[in-house]
């Protein structure tokens, strides 16, 4: 292997390279050229075509299922080594995290700095262990809603399964007991009243994706509607 062969730090190639590496490391830690999600990068915090709201609108199919904690089950199925069914106690027994993220609805409102509590998708993945075949994820809800996304987006470090918002249990209207939060995609990918997570090899369009909405839904690329 050719690693660390430039022990002669005084030669021009060596010093040029270390400057380049230093610069690139600075870019990396500043998130340069990455889609800017985080606070402090205010300039591009609002995706194109969005406006900020301070309230939190409710959007769904008009049916808000009432799932008492005692009846709550979260099932993980499909191409995973360890399929699970968690009841409320099992879900709450997982390592809890809290995180703050922005949400972007395709109807053009964005809400900043939402504080979530729940479990990270990264943790879920470490428990269920997706198989090689798993490339997409289908989220299904207690209101029959479904949405699909690539495993790579579901596995993003800021993706969560949440039960609380701003320190309070998620209301029924906003998807309690448990909803997904996928901050890097439009909010329709963040299934409320989450019931099942299926890992699949072939992509399958969900409720809105089958009704003219974009299959991927990246707000930074304004992927609102289907490309014909």
Ligand X SMILES: Nc1nc2c(c(=O)[nH]1)N[C@H]1C(S)=C(S)[C@@H](COP(=O)(O)O)O[C@H]1N2
Q: Which is nearer to ligand X, 78 or 175 (CB)?
A: 175
| CB 196 to ligand X: min, Å | 11
State which of residues 105, 160, 181, 197 lies at the interface with ligand X (CB under 6 A): 105
- 51 SS3 class: strand
User: Cα separation of 31 and 51, whole Å?
Assistant: 23
Number of residues that bind Mo ion (CB under 5 A): 3
CA distances from 127 to 10, 44, 78, 92, 139 (A): 49, 35, 14, 14, 17
CA distances from 191 to 14, 31, 108 (A): 51, 28, 18
CA distances from 58 to 64, 91, 174, 224 (A): 10, 25, 7, 19
Please tell me whether residue 59 binds Mo ion under the rule CB under 5 A.
yes
Please tell me whether residue 185 binds ligand X under the rule CB under 6 A.
no
Q: Which is nearer to ligand X, 125 or 191 (CB)?
A: 191
| CB 139 to ligand X: min, Å | 8
State which of residues 37, 86, 88, 145 lies at the interface with ligand X (CB under 6 A): 145
User: Cα separation of 30 and 36, whole Å?
Assistant: 10
| CB 10 to ligand X: min, Å | 59
Please tell me whether residue 91 binds ligand X under the rule CB under 6 A.
no
Neighbours of 172 (CB within 10 A): 15
Q: Which is nearer to ligand X, 31 or 49 (CB)?
A: 49
Please tell me whether residue 181 binds ligand X under the rule CB under 6 A.
no
User: Cα separation of 120 and 183, whole Å?
Assistant: 12
Residues that bind ligand X (CB under 6 A): 56-61, 105, 141, 143, 145, 174-175, 187-188, 190-193
């Amino acid at each position: 292997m050719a690693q660390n062969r430039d022990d002669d730090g005084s030669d021009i190639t060596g010093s040029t390279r270390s400057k380049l590496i230093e610069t690139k490391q600075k870019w990396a830690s500043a998130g340069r050229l990455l889609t800017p999600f985080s606070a402090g990068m205010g300039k591009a915090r609002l995706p194109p075509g969005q406006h900020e709201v301070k309230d939190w609108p409710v959007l769904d199919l008009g049916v808000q299922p009432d799932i008492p904690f005692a009846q709550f089950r979260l099932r993980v199925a499909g191409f995973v080594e360890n399929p699970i069914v968690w009841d409320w106690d099992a879900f709450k027994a997982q390592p809890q995290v809290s995180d703050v993220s922005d949400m972007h609805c395709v109807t053009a409102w964005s809400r900043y700095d939402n504080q979530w509590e729940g479990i990270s998708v990264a943790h879920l993945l470490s428990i269920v262990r997706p198989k090689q075949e798993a490339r997409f994820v289908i989220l299904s809800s207690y209101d029959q809603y479904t949405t699909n996304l690539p495993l790579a987006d579901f596995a993003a470090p800021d993706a969560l399964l949440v039960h609380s918002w701003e320190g309070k249990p998620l209301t029924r209207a906003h998807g309690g007991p448990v909803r997904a939060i996928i901050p890097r995609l439009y909010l329709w990918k963040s299934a409320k009243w989450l019931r099942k997570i299926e890992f699949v090899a072939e992509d399958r369009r969900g409720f809105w994706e089958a009704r003219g909405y974009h299959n991927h839904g990246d707000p930074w690329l304004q992927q609102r509607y289907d490309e014909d």
